[in-house]
A = this chain, B = another copy of it.
Amino acid sequence: MKRIADLLFEARMLKEIPRSGFHFLGAGRESIAEHVYGTTFIAFVMTQLHPEIDARKLICMCLLHDLAEARVGDLNAVNKAYVRADESRAVADMVQGLAFGTQIQELIAEYNGGRSQEAKLARDADQLALILELKDLDDIGYRPPATWLPHVLDRLQTESGKSLAEAILDTRRDAWWCPAPQVRNSST
């Protein structure tokens, strides 16, 4: 139980670490924990669109996909050009002495491998969570997202991922709660 409590405090650390990409973007902010929430929620939606896949695996892969960042930090695209992180050793140290440690290691390794259908969808969920942020900031009036979006869209690998991205870009951030036609028109 002691090692489980350690794991919970380690996973909690993701609440404290901001996503470093937003420092480069110049607008918005989110903690890694918030990003993981967004990614996992998108994974849940994907399991509804894909009854053929292993739903539990897809969701858990997304929930765990950034866990190593508690030890490694959040490395954005610029950072990754200069830094090499031994993520598997970070995960190994994290799960040491945990009865279900192998489970966690395998889910993260499958995510990083990116070969299974679940891993491909999970990786697209990760990008879609960023696309959602960029669209939100673009609607609010910030300029940098327009420059970033084409690059992030290019990373999508699955048909579901591409369709979801298209739907996000076609939808106003506030359409879900302010659907009256006159409001919609007023922004044209």
Q: Which residues of A contact B (CB under 8 A)?
A: 1-2, 4-18, 20, 23-24, 26-27, 30-31, 33-34, 36-38, 40-42, 44-45, 48, 55-56, 59-60, 63-64, 68, 71-76, 78-79, 81-87, 89-90, 94, 99-100, 103, 128, 132-133, 136, 139-144, 146-147, 150-151, 163-164, 166-168, 170-171, 173-178, 183, 186-187
Contact = CB atoms under 8 A, between A and B. Distances in A.
Contacts of A141: 27, 141-144
A83 B82 contact: no
Contacts of A183: 147, 151
Nearest to A142: B141
A144 B87 contact: no
A103 B177 contact: no
Nearest to A72: B82
Contacts of A167: 1-2, 4-5
28 contacts: A1-B166, A4-B167, A5-B168, A5-B171, A6-B176, A7-B45, A9-B174, A9-B176, A13-B24, A15-B38, A24-B174, A26-B174, A40-B63, A41-B63, A44-B63, A48-B100, A56-B56, A59-B63, A73-B79, A82-B85, A83-B85, A83-B86, A84-B84, A141-B141, A141-B142, A141-B144, A147-B183, A150-B186
A92 to B, nearest CB: 10
